[in-house]
Amino acid sequence: MTTYGSFPGTRPRRLRTTPAMRRMVAETRLHPADFILPAFVREGVSEPVPIAAMPGVVQHTRDSLKKAAAEAVAAGISGIMLFGVPEESKKDALGTPGTDPDGILQVAIRDVRAEVGDELLVMSDLCLDETTDHGHCGVLDEQGRVDNDATLERYAEMAQVQADAGAHVVGPSGMMDGQIGVVRDALDQIGREDVAVLAYTAKYASAFYGPFREAVASSLQGDRKTYQQDPANVRESMRELALDLEEGADMVMVKPAGPYLDILARVADAVDVPVAAYQISGEYSMIEAAAEKGWIDRERAILETLTGIRRAGARNILTYWAVEAARMLR
């Protein structure tokens, strides 16, 4: 036999021979505690409402959300990220339901905390897009542009009402300049130093958000390219990262996950705080659609994509498969 370098003496395939061997030498492992479940709760419905663009995902009622939270605890995942969907008639230019103590998101936070206590991290989306009649993540000025600093005032109020409702973690997701510092100060002003801030540090203006717009009954007019990041850019994310950490972020996140694994790896290599990634609606829906057609092995694809996100550096993954994936791993 001809010798090629160290072959035939060296054979990497020896470490792939059996499931037990592959399990022993695996460099990346998934665990249920890695996962956070994004969940939608809709005001004024008596039954969960299926989301057509996200098969298997629903807009919860208050009661079904509590059941979902209990299932998340039983599955061993770490958290649930709540998104509130108010009645259409309650939306306005300022996103008033977002700061109303009786707004659907605040009510849902209280419901889930009453159901699971501290057994599950209750996390809240801190953004105005679900509550504004124009669908943008902030307040608009007279020219119809998102007013960064006026929006920060709304975010400060949102942080306080979400903390009062019982959120363990708030997730400012609007990509406003200065949002982390403003939210941290607002929480500290009411003595809620215990509430953590998960910064949506690198949030790109992605085509993969499409199904999410249905999930939150978005009223978006136009696009979000003036505040979400350009998919072409890398250094921009690292600058956002430095600013978020300086302003007091406890954790940082990259969103979307799959198309931005290079960004995720750069962020993970650069920081000593926990790093999360959000496997967003479009990523979910593509796999579900392909699996429904019989084109891919659904369960393998789910675990493979989650492993890739974990391998790239995410300590935690927000995924709509959180509970299902946790059960697969068990």
Tell me the catalytic residues: 203, 255
Rg of the chain, C-alpha, whole Å = 21
124 with 170: CB under 8 angstroms?
A: yes
The DSSP secondary structure of 35-59, one letter per residue, reads: EEEEEEEETT-SS-EE-TTSTT-EE
Q: How far apart are CA 203 and CA 212, in angstroms?
A: 14
Whose CA is closest to 123, among 87, 78, 85? 78
CA dist., res. 309 & res. 304, Å (int): 9
Q: How far apart, in whole angstroms, are the C-alpha atoms of residue 226 and residue 138?
A: 12
Number of Cβ within 10 Å of residue 308's Cβ equals 16
Angle of helix 298-312 relative to helix 281-292, nearest 10 degrees, comes to: 150
281 is in an annotated binding site: yes
Element (H or E) spanning 287, and its range?
helix 281-292
224 in a known ligand binding site: yes
Distance CA 316, CA 105 (A): 23
Residue in this structure with the two tokens 């505690």, named with its chain if needed: 33
* Binding-site residue set for 5-aminolevulinate: 213, 224, 281, 320
Binding site feature residues:
213, 224, 240, 281, 320
Please enumerate, by residue number, every residue annotated as part of a binding site for Mg(2+).
Answer: 240
